[in-house]
Structure 1
Amino acid sequence: MASPPRRPMSSIDKAEALFKAATTKPAEAPKARPVPGPAEQVSLKLDRAVLDFFQEDGPGWQERINAALRKAAGLD
């Protein structure tokens, strides 16, 4: 299928296109989210009620605490 014929650009159209290209701010790329590295073992004191809350659902409570902390820190 043939493309439609191009309309010739006037010198004013060309100048406006160049001006627009030179003055238009390029779109910002989305900020890359930090990739979590390997977990680091730390000692942390938590209230008993907080620990009970995360342990209620069984195994994986440490990952749930980590996810909650990442969300609170704005990392997710």
Structure 2
Amino acid sequence: MAKKPDPEMAEFEAALLRSAKQAAKGQYARVHKPEEIVRRRGRPLGSTAATRKSATTIRLDEEILSAFKATGQGWQTRINNALRDWLKTHRLT
């Protein structure tokens, strides 16, 4: 199944290529402010030990997995959030 292109990532890559071309011409690339920089990997800022995550293996129906993966990057976080919401309305015994 082909992965849908992420428009935000495509724009980032295009900007990176423009910056590289400018540098090759001896021009200055655009300087970004810290709030303009998008962090994609690692633990979010302000994260605490209470939000620590553990690696695990889980078996899901193919249709469930495909539906979450079709939403693009962050699908694992969305599964985690869906399970968290489910726990709010269901009691484990």
TM-score, structure 1 as length reference: 0.49
Indicate the structure (1 or 2) with the bigger Cα radius of gyration. Answer: 1
Task: Compare relative contact order (CA 8 Å, sep 6+) and give the higher one, 1 or 2.
Answer: 2
Larger helix proportion, structure 1 or 2? Answer: 2
- Provide TM-score, normalisation by structure 2: 0.41
